[in-house]
Structure 1
Amino acid sequence: MIGDFVNICPRAAMAGHTEIGRKAYLGIGCTIIDDIRVGAETIVGAGAVVIRDIPDHAVVAGVPAKAIR
């Protein structure tokens, strides 16, 4: 499920049962594994691998993705 006004950059990969919150930004080449919730107004950095749920208004990056702000 993808919320309103989400920006999905090229080569972003999302597995099934993934929920992307409103106004989220998924950076180029990021990967989100199965059954993950990405919160509203969240930024996922380029190339990040998301293996845990991300709360609203977070900025994550890295492999695995960790909060940087």
Structure 2
Amino acid sequence: MTHTRCPGCPDGTKGPGKYLCHGCWTGLTMAARRALKRRDRQAIDRLQELYRQLGANVPLTKITITP
């Protein structure tokens, strides 16, 4: 299993199939985590929404994901 850099922090790594490292994942609000866990046709859109906000330096606690 290869670990890759976490997009939410400068020195974290995330495991395969994970969006963020554990520290960043728990830094998200429960609503954001719940939305990102949903597996449906909009899952990719929600993931892109997360990455756009991370790229814009939105703090983890302020990230909102469309349910």
Tell me the TM-score normalised to structure 2 length.
Answer: 0.29
The answer to which structure has the higher strand fraction is: 1
Instruction: Write 1 or 2 for the structure with the bigger share of helix.
Output: 2
Structure label with greater radius of gyration = 2
> What TM-score results when the alignment is normalised by the length of structure 1?
0.28
* Larger RCO, structure (CA 8 Å, separation 6 or more): 2
